[in-house]
A and B are shown apart, each in its own frame.
Chain A
Amino acid sequence: MVQLRSHVAAGDVTADVLSELSAALETAPIEPDFLCVFYGCMHDDEAIWAFVRDRFPDAAILGGTSCGGVMSENGLGGEHSIGLLLVEDPDGDYGTAAVRLQGNAADCAERALHDALEAAGCAGELPELIWIYQAPGQEEAVIDGLRRVVGDRCPIIGGSSADNEVAGDWSQLGPEGLMRDGLVVGVLFSSGGIGFAFQGGYEPSGASGVVTRVGFDAAGESGIVTKAWGRQIISIDGEPAAEVYNRWLGGVLGEKMTAGSNILTDTTMFPVGVDVGKIEGITHYLLIHPDRVLEDGVLSTFAAVEEGTRLFSMRGNKSNLVERAGKVATAAISMLPGGSSSLAGGLVIYCAGCMLAVGNEMPNVSRAVSASFDGAPFLGCFTFGEQGAILGRNAHGNLMISAIAFGK
């Protein structure tokens, strides 16, 4: 029997919030085998780590910072919130492991996955689901490393830890403590079954072009990964990428076309997408969020693009982004072996970019998810990149929404 509880508290002083959480935990105690903890970046994360370590010494722990705090079945927690999701499943197996993403990120991820399986007592077994939380920047390599072990045989769902200002104030929390440049891998072998979904809420707006040159923004020590794959789009159809992109947007970037400009908020409704496959002739897209304009019209993005890829100009709107969260949760629930009646609760990852775009309608997002979860406990975090399985393939994208549902 799987049981979930979520607890969210908020306040300026971390110790006070933790006291409040501690008191809440006493009201309906369960012994979690798996614990997720997400929090606003201004909190004292060392204190949070000490709290969860002391309080749940036997649980597999995974968490990190979330842009603007967390949400749960009780609504948005606010940017000073800390949220816990407790999963009690005596017949299941759960394990987490952490690694700093130094050197080859794919190797790091592969190692962490084996460690997490070992920690779950399931070395060599295919988990039902892999749940990851990491520092932004090397998500594609991380997915590659994990896929070396499991391929696309099990879903890899997760998010990239986020702060409030894209200032690097993020952290990741694993079984051995905190990291700023790390990856936490969780492996889930639930006794009640798990459903999952990973979707975006954007549509192509008509324009498209082929990426003719990419560069790589050296992150960590790895420097250039390949010439043909990276997060800096130098040109589209032979023209400076930012100019083409700005044209697709009807020139909305205006004076921000100068080098170094942050365009994150201007582009949340107008990301680019790549074709990830077709169902009945209808194309499905993985979204990529342009974040800055660099020298010579280079466009920097939050996900890597390969040379030769056709990029599609995408368009979103608020109401879709609000409704989509609930639909993703519903899709995850529908995958549970026992259907919605067996739902114990869930986890939701909502892109921080979407959150910025939705703005003051965010309460409707948490309401939509709550309605889909029908009041069951859930915890939601807001991230700078999302990972999930789209059309059967594990991938990293932006402006996406993921949900996982636990069966009882």
Chain B
Amino acid sequence: MRMEDSEELREALVNLRRELDILRIETTHANLLLSALDALLGANDDDDDPFKGVFAALMPVFEYEHAIVLIERGDGCEALECVASNHEALIGSAWPTDRLLQKALSGRILSTVAGSGTDTWPSGFDPEISCDQPALYFPLAVRGSRGAVILLRRLGQSGFDRSHVALARKFSLLASHAFAARQASLTQAESHRLKDLARKLEASQEALRFRANHDQLTGLPNRAYVGEIVDQMIGRKQWGEQLALAFIDLDEFKRVNDVHGHAVGDRLLQEIARRVKAEIRRNDVFGRISGDEFVIVLDPVGGQSDVAQIVERILNSIRQPLSVEGTEIRPSASIGIAFYPEHGQDYETLRRRADLAMYQAKTSAKGSLSFFTRDLGQEVDDRLVLEQRVKEAVAAGEFRCALQQKINIRTGCVVGFEALARWVDAAGVVHSPGHFLPTASRLGLLDEISAQVMEDLLQNLPALDAGFGPTIRYSINVSPAQTTSVPFMQKLLRRLSESGRAGRFILELTEESFAATGLFQTHVLPALRNAGVAISIDDFGSGYSSLAKLAELTVDELKLDRSLVSSIHRRPRNQIVLRAVESLGAALNMSIVAEGIETDEENRYLLEQTCIAIGQGFLHHRPQLLADLLGR
């Protein structure tokens, strides 16, 4: 799944991080509690000091300098006695029960900040202790008497925080039980109970470890754990041995989520996990590394053909239709494969390369598999070079406007032009949008390119008017992201208005833009209407084609997607769709434009079998740069 909405991604990451932090903290706490409990229960005879082990167990998390265990003396004395400490000189010292100790004795756990006002601590020890040291107090009940533990950090060290307080709360309870049991010489029943407690803790620690390493939805190893396992597998490899890493990405998964909801999406992921598990071998590793991305590590493997065989089997299994809550879904996945050691020496490199191969598969044919090759690596390098060149081209203002005629196919008259972007590099080479637009879009440079193309067109408008007349209308393409960007649209509108010819422009928006039109409808559309700018839906029939949206929006023009027009004369089903769209357009008072007319047969069909008047395509006119069009 490619999360388009970065807010959603950010939130998912924060939640994941929070959950992982909680798991990590809980696991650490469970470990610490187990060790401390072991130390208390494991000290067998009276000579053993159980606290030595406890102090050692607490140290890694609490990072204290001194630990002090104080117990009520029970002889009517107000002061507490230090019965254990890693600062041996303190043992036996008397501690007045001040306000903070009183709170700890009554069950409170507290961390100090400066200004506690405590100044009754015993003194004269080497090294000296100070009540200004950051401290954590917690209760330690011993059968029949109350006690407290004080952990002290060094002066200047940061104080104890909320997570320390939470851990101290757990430790306080367990240690009180364990300490009480020891004092009572460990009756069998108590010993049994404590051991039972320790077993439960171990089980919960195991469960926590599983949760930390596995994806909760599918039960598969998660990203971090897969990486760990694969690196271990690689570490065990001998010279000449190889393994294969297959990167699986479900096709159109986002659409499943959007259309059918997350519950159906989750159910699909679980089913895919089940199917793939059934196809792989016992020693292979299968994990889910994010949304709809899975990884399989095939080990051992022979050559490419062995791997291809297994992966084809997996693809076939994934392709089986699935029914979820009455909805039939036909899943498919694209898979990329990289080999150790040929394509990478570690998990991260192998994953990245298999990911690249997966993109290759997805681009050439969704639902297929592709192996990583050195050429593919080269493609990535090429992409980086292209990115740099596009950035430089934007900075140098190398983007120009090309115009393609929209003509009345019944009269042959030019009725308008569609403005298209072309990159004319320093060497005079003209690059088509297919070459640079995906890169520019990824780099966030579309707005700047649109501005350059627009400027080129506006500056040449007087000459165009002179050549083609003042009634010709110009269509401008606006991307979905631009449509929903109020500042972009406002800027565009302002520029059109400044030209004094706003009413001569048609904005071509894709159906995708209309899927999320909140801001557009409230902030932009009214202003466009006021200025006289017309709206066209571009590539109609290739996207959502929501009739509800069509009814909701007041649109002036529908441009039929070229896939509908292509070979229309010999595709009866497309002919039916075309007729339906035509009558829809007539009913909603929208002009219909047929795009992508490339052959005489297509043109003839439109002329003879439809009422469509406006057409556009290579048959009638190939886009020309303005200078060429104006004969300069």
Contacts and interface: CB of A to CB of B under 8 A. Distances in A.
A44 interface: no
Interface stretch (A46-54, A81-89, A219-227, A244-252): A244-252
Interface string B11-39: 10110111000000000000000000000
Given A205-B485, A206-B444, A252-B487, A124 B9 contact: no
Interface string A94-124: 0000000000000000000010010000111
Contact of A124 (B5, B7, B118, B166): B118
Given A154-B162, A279-B14, A252 B6 contact: no
Contacts of B6: 203-204, 282
B160 A125 contact: no
A251 B488 CA distance: 9
Interface stretch (B105-113, B188-196, B345-353): B105-113
Given A124-B117, A153-B111, A153-B161, 8 more contacts: A117-B115, A151-B159, A203-B6, A203-B7, A250-B488, A280-B16, A319-B518, A334-B18
A217 interface: no
Given A124-B114, A126-B112, A153-B111, A284 B10 contact: yes
7 contacts: A122-B110, A124-B115, A124-B117, A206-B444, A251-B494, A284-B14, A320-B7
Contacts of B389: none
Interface string B96-129: 0001100000000011111111100000000000
A350 interface: no
A5 interface: no
A341 to B, nearest CB: 17
A249 B486 CA distance: 8
A143 to B, nearest CB: 16
A154 B112 contact: no
Nearest to B158: A151
A400 to B, nearest CB: 14
Interface string A325-346: 0010000001001000000000
A119 B113 CA distance: 15
Contact of B13 (A117, A269, A279): A279
Interface residues of B, number: 41
A318 interface: yes
A125 B162 contact: no
A149 B491 CA distance: 49
A153 B487 contact: no
A228 interface: no
A319 B14 CA distance: 20
Nearest to B494: A251
Interface string A268-299: 01100000000110101000000000000000
Nearest to A202: B7
A125 to B, nearest CB: 5
A389 to B, nearest CB: 11
A154 B487 contact: no
B491 A251 contact: yes
B173 to A, nearest CB: 14
B10 A114 contact: no
Nearest to A250: B487
B304 interface: no
Interface in B150-191: 158-162, 165-166
A199 B509 CA distance: 33
Contact of B491 (A250, A270, A284): A250
B160 A124 contact: no
Contacts of A250: 485-491
Interface in A179-227: 201, 203-206
Given A201-B7, A269-B486, A279-B13, A124 B116 contact: yes
Contact of B116 (A123, A206, A334): A123
A258 interface: no
A125 B112 contact: yes
Contact of B518 (A280, A315, A317): A317
Contact of A279 (B7, B17, B166): B17
Contacts of A123: 99, 115-117
Nearest to B17: A279
Contacts of B488: 250
B490 A282 contact: no
B629 interface: no
B162 A153 contact: yes
Contact of B113 (A150, A251, A327): A150
A151 to B, nearest CB: 6
Contacts of A204: 6
B491 A327 contact: no
Contacts of A205: 485, 487
A195 to B, nearest CB: 11
A270 B113 contact: no
A117 B7 CA distance: 38
Contacts of A319: 518
A252 B519 CA distance: 15
A20 interface: no
B355 to A, nearest CB: 15
Given A201-B7, A250-B491, A279-B13, A126 B444 contact: no
Contacts of B18: 334
Interface of B, secondary structure class, is helix
Interface of B: 5-7, 9-11, 13-14, 16-18, 99-100, 110-118, 158-162, 165-166, 444, 447, 485-491, 494, 518-519
A126 B518 contact: no
Contact of B490 (A154, A252, A280): A252
Nearest to A319: B518
Interface in A137-152: 149-151
A282 B113 contact: no
B490 A251 contact: yes
Chain B CB count within 10 A is highest, among A124, A252, A280, for A124
Nearest to B163: A153
A263 to B, nearest CB: 14
A334 B19 CA distance: 10
Given A124-B117, A203-B7, A250-B491, A282 B162 contact: no
A31 interface: no
B336 to A, nearest CB: 22
A204 B447 CA distance: 15
A141 to B, nearest CB: 19
A317 B114 contact: no
Contacts of B14: 279, 284
List the 3 closest pairs (A to B, CB-CB), nearest first: A124-B116, A250-B487, A250-B491
Nearest to B487: A250
B487 A248 contact: yes
Most buried by A among B18, B118, B166, B486: B486
A275 B243 CA distance: 41
Nearest to A125: B110
B11 A125 contact: no
B111 A317 contact: no
A18 B337 CA distance: 72
A325 to B, nearest CB: 14
Residue from A125, A149, A204, A318 with most neighbouring chain B CB atoms (10 Å): A125
B262 to A, nearest CB: 15
Contacts of A282: 6, 9-10, 13
A363 B619 CA distance: 56
Nearest to B169: A337
B100 A153 contact: no
Contacts of B111: 125-126, 153
A128 interface: yes
User: In this complex, which of B6, B18, B111 has the most chain A Cβ atoms within 10 angstroms of its Cβ?
Assistant: B111
Contacts of A280: 13, 16-17
Contacts of B158: 151, 153
A124 to B, nearest CB: 2
A128 B163 CA distance: 11
A172 B518 CA distance: 38
B443 to A, nearest CB: 10
Contacts of B486: 250, 252, 269
Contacts of A315: 485
A149 B114 contact: yes
